[in-house]
Structure 1
């Protein structure tokens, strides 16, 4: 959530920055500033009344001591009236504060200065590319055909049990999936991330804290009976560990990693680009989350990018890194780098990771602060990244490592799998 003081002092800057995210924010910004002015003026009026009431209470005490009860009675009547007025104003202040917060929730985070201008994914900026694209044998297949050939993932069985987008992993497919999870977690913990296991459902406050609500409400599975949401990513519960927390500056940075299943209701469409593992309603992901000092968060973002690059280099998958344009960025992000792996069998790039800096956008919602060396509370910066999302990494491995004899397991995963080939 953007800070109201910043909006008030930089209205045009906010409007221009959000235009980069394809939002015409002029009306909302003006409404936010007007609500804040009304709230502040009402607060001042209420404070003045409370001050007058406190002064009268002291005067009443003095009159009672001097025996001037009649004068004291007149002042008492006045204090009763002031207290009623103060109560009315307090209710107005609360209502204005609630309305102001709801308006602020509709404003996305401001994009960083280096975010490219653009409206569509085609306008994202490629900043890095690595890995040789393999030449596959004649008759090479996309992963949705390979998994049927080797009986390692069953989409039809998942559809019977739950519906489309809920695959069943079998045999070596399940073992490869588990191997990837353990491999990613081991790489993250070796890099200094503390592993946690977190709930797979969160309350409304948690979803608001990281920005999923109200922006992504229709994309989340919701249990109305208990008012809980299935998580779309481990980012939500992990980042909310620090909700309403004040850290000391010496505790920064805080590095956390977690494996969770992820659940997304995002509407499916038809075609090869969403077939098989390309788009699922339930999938596995290993996440990394950082809480950083504001002065060091962009250095930390670069470090997260290098960390994910190192994993993909070990897996020997061809990949590229994109700096997302304003129109393709998430609601909460200030700067995002997407990783894509090249699927030779599909002849297309598949997104496998997003690494983002949210600056103070989430921490302002979460009330996540740190106490600086002067004893002053400041908002921390939050960052997160996929390290990594499994479905398209798995699709890339199955397709790029296929041979006439079977699917060869990347060397980095063989000790985790316990086998070298799927055949």
Structure 2
């Protein structure tokens, strides 16, 4: 080991991840020094309340409420407080001083990444954020470094453990959406307010990050189409199973062509039908997985724990060691590549396949009429499943109106064409209700 002077590490935040980072730093001090070539000295942990109860027993003298003084003395700053402010200000301050920064803050990277990367590049510092996407799974560095000589064409990611747990329970146990969410909350997979997860906001931020790295393009988070799982029904889950699919909430990032034939990027988050034989269909519980399709390397999948204090701390420590090694070796930090700056395709121009479920009148000519509505908007039918429920007697003992349930699969179609079909179906007097629309995602 070289005789490089110790590198001072400031830790901001001591929650479930931060406390584990501190523990691993302290317990692995000697081993990390050998790996880095210099000692990593934890000089303090900035928190809002120094007396708060922690998950890990840490030396009390490390805690402080004065984040600014820690940052002023640090060579490396680890930000684990989350949210936009004061995290953004703290990171800006550290980078402007030339300190390297490690963060797990997906919201901040997705919304203010370009600003922070520009400061890092100007100051010769490094901003690392492996833990911002998919927890313990290494995916940022493989995309940025390992596949730097390749061309990534598509990413399909299960990047939210809460929604994967809920959908998995619905498939495997037959739970209703409400029951699956209740169990997820009891087991700690879902927060007391699960909105960010079940409405797709969390996955939307991660999709923006993945697409930006993979396609060397700034992808603003609000340009990523978002749809959560709250509209997914037990009936859709059963229909998917019968058709040989599994429903997953996917972050989908693709390099595509726009209507003018020019290169563009598509980034979207929504529930999707995945073939049961696809590797992503076998991702159960709260786990995450990211499936990458590339020109030279082919298909790759990264799988593992998408959350958890010690698991995410592993990714943070990996970034910290990488940054520390760079400081020992010398040289400027690695700049984020955004040289392509491709346009981001609106969801209406995206082409995929669909499964539409609807209830219609059970009478002659309805199927032909429905098929005609699809044809009128340029959407070609691929499959049709029809079921007729038993008729129930009403309170007045008059027969209930007969109806049939249709589940229709399509060939590739543009999103705007499918939207037009759904509007036409909803307005047609032979259709009681369109009960659900799911996109179908599989190998390109």
The verdict on a shared fold, with TM-score over 0.5 as the criterion, is no
TM-score tier after normalising by the smaller chain length: under 0.3
Task: Please report the TM-score for the alignment, with normalisation by the length of structure 2.
Answer: 0.25
Q: State the structure with more CA Rg.
A: 1
Q: Which has the higher contact order (CA 8 A, sep 6+)?
A: 1
Task: Please report the TM-score for the alignment, with normalisation by the length of structure 1.
Answer: 0.26
> Relative to total residues, which structure has the larger helix share, 1 or 2?
1
